[in-house]
Amino acid sequence: MTALPQQPPGRLLAGAEQIEIHTESLVRGRVRFALFDFDGTVSLIRTGWQDVMIPMMVDILAATPKAEDRETLDGVVRDYVDTLTGKQTIYQMLRLADEVRRRGGTPRDPLDYKHQYLDLLWDKVRHRVAGLKDGRIAPDELLVPGCVALLENLRARGITCYLASGTDEPYVIDEARALRVDECFDGGIYGALDDYRKFSKQMIIDRIFAEHGLGGPELVAFGDGYVEIENTVAVGGIAIGAATDEVTRCGVNAWKRNRLILAGAHMIVPDFREQTRLLSWLCAEE
């Protein structure tokens, strides 16, 4: 796997313990719309999806005529899975098909690969969704800390909230409802469609800008993946990297943090426990 240089610490936001600022020139006080990624940023239901996708892909590639050893394949797969995180799942499967071809194999339809993966993942997460629905699991156990308070705070300021996920839309809607955050997203909930050309985070961002005649810093985006950060930076929005440690739900995941800074994140937070401080700063209230 490609080693990346460790990114230096940003300036700590005054009055906060864990909010890093990596861009000093941000225009504050103009936010009107907020865009959230779902998995890893709001929801922890699908935590561990990489441990399902990566071994599945390594198995498939290991069966091709010109396969390298499993360790090499693991590095190859990890790299492209990571780079494509935040895009719809199908893009990871399109890449898998390319990698099979590159090694002399005949790939299956990428959509078949996607369904194979979703079935495997569902075995791992179905009990979480069921537990949320029947009350055995409290939503807080599977939400990034502070997320609901942040959404309520944004809404109280008249900021419209959108949810956009690379996971298939019916799952996203069902899981947002199970976590009882669906109604927080007054701008709408969007996810991947079988016709993958009809949805992307870029399209959602473009639509928000077009419909509301937005300027860059009127949009703030929160995400733990490359794609939402890069897309937001590209339109001049404020990109906040959520480097959540999904397992301990406490502190920064160093690997995510590094990747998010390299993608252009203006700020890094471990979670949303300090959302009051974060929002008052973003809204230029001091």
Q: How many chain residues interact with Mg ion (CB under 5 A)?
A: 5
- Rounded to a whole number of angstroms, the minimum distance from the CB of residue 92 to Mg ion is 13
Nearer to Mg ion (CB atom), residue 61 or residue 192? 192
Residue 202 CB neighbours (<10 A)? 17
Does 225 contact Mg ion by CB under 5 A? yes
Q: What letter represents residue 132's amino acid?
A: L
Q: Does residue 37 interact with Mg ion by CB under 5 A?
A: yes
How many other C-beta atoms can be found within 10 angstroms of the C-beta atom of residue 252?
20
Strands 238-242 and 267-269, bridge-based pairing:
parallel
Residue 221 C-beta: closest distance to Mg ion, Å: 12
Single-letter amino acid, residue 145: P
Residue 39 as a binder of Mg ion (CB under 5 A): the answer is: yes
Find the shortest distance in angstroms from Cβ 94 to Mg ion. 19
Q: Can residue 110 be called a binding residue for Mg ion (CB under 5 A)?
A: no
Cβ closer to Mg ion: 10 or 86? Answer: 86
Interaction of residue 175 with Mg ion, rule CB under 5 A: no
191 near Mg ion, rule: CB under 5 A: no
Whichever of 99 and 224 has its CB closer to Mg ion, that residue is 224
39: its two tokens? 């998995």
Q: Is 71 exposed, middle or buried (0-12, 13-18, 19+ CB in 10 A)?
A: exposed
Under a CB-based contact definition with an 8 Å cutoff, are residues 191 and 169 in contact? Answer: yes
Question: Does 146 contact Mg ion by CB under 5 A?
Answer: no
Q: At what angle do helices 275-282 and 147-156 cross, to 10 degrees?
A: 30
- Chain centroid to Cα 28, Å, comes to 23
Q: Which residues bind Mg ion (CB under 5 A)?
A: 37, 39-40, 224-225
